Amino acid sequence: FPGCRILCLSRDIPSKPGCLNGSAPKDATSFDVRGTPGVDVYIVHNPQVAKVPTCVPRWPLDVRVEVVVTMKTPSDAVNDNKVRISYYGKDGGPPMHRAMLYLTCVGNLSVLPLQREWTWGPDGQGAILLVNCDRDDPKSSDMDNKDFCVRSYADLRDMSCMILRTRGPDAIFDDHKLVLHISMSDADKVGVFHARGDDILHQYKHVLGSNELSYIVDRPSGQEEDTFYVEGLAFPDADFLGLVSFHVTLLDVPDENLPETPIFTDTVVFHMAPWIMTPNTQRPLEIFVCSVSDNADFVEAVSKLARKARCKLTVCPELENQNDRWIQDEMEFGYVQAPHKTFPVVFDSPRDGEMQDFPFKSILGPDFGYVTRQPYNESVSSLDSFGNLEVSPPVTVKGKEYPLGRILIGSSFPRIGGRRMTKAVRNFLCAQKVQAPVELYADWLCVGHVDEFLSFVPAPGRQGFRLLLASPSACYKLFREKQEEGYGEARLFEGRILETVTTTTIDEILANETLRRENDYVQSCIDWNRDILKQELGLSEKDIIDLPQLFRVINKKASAFFPDMVNMIVLGKHLGIPKPFGPTVDGRCCLEESVRSLLEPLGLTCTFINDFFAYHTLEGEVHCGTNVRRKPFSFKWWNMIP
């Protein structure tokens, strides 16, 4: 049939399009096409797609014309439906010739909701897979997707169901085979189990994934559905977009001496659920803190705050943390979500301090997943600690919505060289797509973490939050005011607790030119970030609050001069803020008073926690010493358009 093709695009029809080849007579110039009632016939005449109307026009025999036939319901008998094509010559008149296509419809591969393509957004479609990275059986030594069996119903519930429908006349399966298959590049991303033996789990067989690329599906006569369960093995990453396709192909088995020929393939596409972070504005569920040799008071203060905020407190014991107190840096909590299941997943940082085994040994568990990334061949720096990995609340930037917020990481940008988070981690974060990362400048800090100069608190108003930034200018302004009010002699670091610390007065601080120059530098670094944050998060000055803070610069790197108040823990409206030990004015710390006056009108309550010797003098504060698991977003990730 020169110049015209018939294509069976529908997965419902395993027909043999080739049967029409060459059926057009030499002088034919046009054709019409009709199907029996079970068949829908479409003409694709670039670029429009038109369903053939009842009063059938004639179509030119032209390469650009395609005929597409589909069937909605399976056949009752072999060849029970037909499509007839009539060919006409230049002069019209009766057809010169007729060709008949016999159709048998036998079924499809589907997941619910039924999807052959994957598209983002509220009108999008597509099936979702979870990386089965939890450990439902506490006795098991590894994650559930490391084995080739279904251990329990809990394990099964983390998988997605895929149904192969083979309705249609049994006779067709006598000389046809069904093969379920995946491409080589997808084979290490998924595992497929064939549900067999009346729901007896240990009879579920691992049939696809790893080395198994195809599986011949036995179809007992009359069995119209076959159920498979699919688990994810890998998160999206630099070399994996997150999409996995499964195909079912119907093979014609003509006779023993000839090889099988594929006659029709149906495909379903799954998207691997991304790992999603939760910002400070999400409700806290569980707080983590380390118990080490010298921080009993701190742990007590944090547990008091947890009780106020009605959160569970989990203390990582010394045996497990081996005196490593930086629990913020070792891991980040996120979650994965599919329509049928949501569970938290801890991302274990490549930092690997003394408590490196804690996330795998103690956090991974039933419905609590685990993921980590090993650096490619780069060295790990302090910027790989997850105090340097934060996420903003949901924002809209010049009309573009980020309903799950944007990830914020600190980098050496804009300088050349310097420390940067490893590519392995950056690639992973970018590949999740749903919280497009923003790189900030953090390498000016000795430790180099974004949580040293920014935080977010829930607050009423347009955005539903405020960005808090550490601010040397705000601190100088406050101290000058206090000096003018006659409190120049008031001392920083005064009091019984800090007996061993050298105190200094407001007058001395304001007169210290070195300190001033250092803080001008720090302010310029933070201002640079302020501009990026305004631009990349769509913020205005109204959305930002400057918290008074001073830094020192030693060996060209900055550290907080007094406890870094922005490095706080945010538990709903309860804030746990490093106690600054600022100058006392009218019996109160003027730094605490200033912070209260900025935050309390927003409905927040400030609890100042003494972290001076246990954290501050070791270059960290409250946020660095705690970690919070939060409630997942109610917004579903697949409804966004990244």
CB 4 within 8 A of CB 63: yes
Note whether 508 binds ligand NAG by CB under 6 A.
yes
Any idea which residue has 């930092």 for tokens?
351
Closest distance of CB 58 from ligand NAG, Å: 30
CA-based angle 352:357:363, to the nearest 5?
115
Note whether 241 binds ligand NAG by CB under 6 A.
no
Q: Which of 329, 384, 543, 546 is catalytic?
A: 329
Note whether 247 binds ligand NAG by CB under 6 A.
no
Q: Pick between residue 281 and residue 411 the one whose CB is nearest to ligand NAG.
A: 411
Element (H, E) at 65: strand 65-71
398, burial (CB in 10 Å: exposed 0-12, middle 13-18, buried 19+): exposed
CB atoms within 10 A of CB 300: 11
Of the residues 283, 308, 552, 596, which one makes contact with ligand NAG according to CB under 6 A: 552
Instruction: Give the range of 437-445, 450-458, 491-499, 506-514 binding ligand NAG by CB under 6 A.
Output: 506-514
Q: Pick between residue 110 and residue 607 the one whose CB is nearest to ligand NAG.
A: 110
- CA 428 to chain CA centroid, Å, is 9
- Binding letters toward ligand NAG, positions 97-136, x by CB under 6 A: --------x-xx-x---x----------------------
Element (H, E) at 269: strand 261-272
Q: Which of 134, 158, 443, 451 is catalytic?
A: 451
Torsion, CA 204, CA 207, CA 211, CA 216, rounded to 10: 160
Q: Pick between residue 125 and residue 342 the one whose CB is nearest to ligand NAG.
A: 125
Note whether 419 binds ligand NAG by CB under 6 A.
no
- Whether 271 is catalytic: no
Note whether 176 binds ligand NAG by CB under 6 A.
no
Note whether 75 binds ligand NAG by CB under 6 A.
no
Of the residues 8, 20, 39, 74, which one makes contact with ligand NAG according to CB under 6 A: 74
Closest distance of CB 582 from ligand NAG, Å: 16
Note whether 376 binds ligand NAG by CB under 6 A.
yes
Of the residues 65, 234, 429, 515, which one makes contact with ligand NAG according to CB under 6 A: 515
Q: Which of 133, 446, 589, 624 is catalytic?
A: 624
Q: Provide the strand spans (E) within 435-590.
A: 438-441, 454-458, 465-471, 491-492, 504-505, 544-548, 551-554, 557-560, 569-571, 574-578, 584-585, 588-589
Q: Pick between residue 266 and residue 330 the one whose CB is nearest to ligand NAG.
A: 266
Q: Backbone dihedral region of 349: left (phi > 0), alpha (psi from -120 to 50 degrees) or beta?
A: beta
Q: Pick between residue 314 and residue 504 the one whose CB is nearest to ligand NAG.
A: 504
Closest distance of CB 179 from ligand NAG, Å: 18
Of the residues 116, 167, 283, 341, which one makes contact with ligand NAG according to CB under 6 A: 167
Of the residues 1, 10, 12, 316, which one makes contact with ligand NAG according to CB under 6 A: 12
Q: Pick between residue 313 and residue 498 the one whose CB is nearest to ligand NAG.
A: 498
Closest distance of CB 81 from ligand NAG, Å: 12
Q: Enter the tokens of residue 612.
A: 């001076």
- Whether 624 is catalytic: yes
- Give the Cα separation of 82 and 101 in Å (integer): 5
Q: Enter the tokens of residue 413.
A: 């940008």
Please spell the DSSP secondary structure of 615-638, one letter per residue: TGGGT--TTTTEEEEEPPPSS-GG
Q: Pick between residue 372 and residue 627 the one whose CB is nearest to ligand NAG.
A: 372
Instruction: Give the range of 233-241, 279-287, 425-433, 509-517 binding ligand NAG by CB under 6 A.
Output: 509-517
Q: H-type helices in 173-317, by residue range?
A: 296-308
- CA 386 to chain CA centroid, Å, is 16
- Give the Cα separation of 336 and 369 in Å (integer): 9
- Give the Cα separation of 515 and 509 in Å (integer): 7
Side-chain half-sphere of 161: how many Cα atoms within 13 Å?
Answer: 15
CB 327 within 8 A of CB 351: no
- Give the Cα separation of 558 and 482 in Å (integer): 25
Q: How many residues bind ligand NAG (CB under 6 A)?
A: 17
Note whether 512 binds ligand NAG by CB under 6 A.
yes
Closest distance of CB 215 from ligand NAG, Å: 20
Q: Alpha-carbon Rg of the chain, whole angstroms?
A: 32
- Give the Cα separation of 321 and 329 in Å (integer): 12
Closest distance of CB 550 from ligand NAG, Å: 8
Q: Pick between residue 293 and residue 514 the one whose CB is nearest to ligand NAG.
A: 514
Q: Are strands 569-571 and 108-110 parallel, antiparallel or unpaired?
A: unpaired
CB atoms within 10 A of CB 95: 17
Of the residues 54, 211, 377, 379, which one makes contact with ligand NAG according to CB under 6 A: 377
Q: Pick between residue 172 and residue 622 the one whose CB is nearest to ligand NAG.
A: 172
Of the residues 514, 540, 555, 634, which one makes contact with ligand NAG according to CB under 6 A: 514
Q: Which of 194, 449, 574, 623 is catalytic?
A: 449
Closest distance of CB 112 from ligand NAG, Å: 7
Note whether 165 binds ligand NAG by CB under 6 A.
yes
Show Cβ contacts of residue 115 under 8 Å, excluding neighbours closer than 6 positions: 125, 126, 127, 268, 269
Closest distance of CB 257 from ligand NAG, Å: 32
Give catalytic residue positions. Answer: 329, 449, 451, 624
Q: Which residues bind ligand NAG (CB under 6 A)?
A: 12, 74, 105, 107-108, 110, 114, 165, 167, 376-377, 508, 512, 514-515, 518, 552
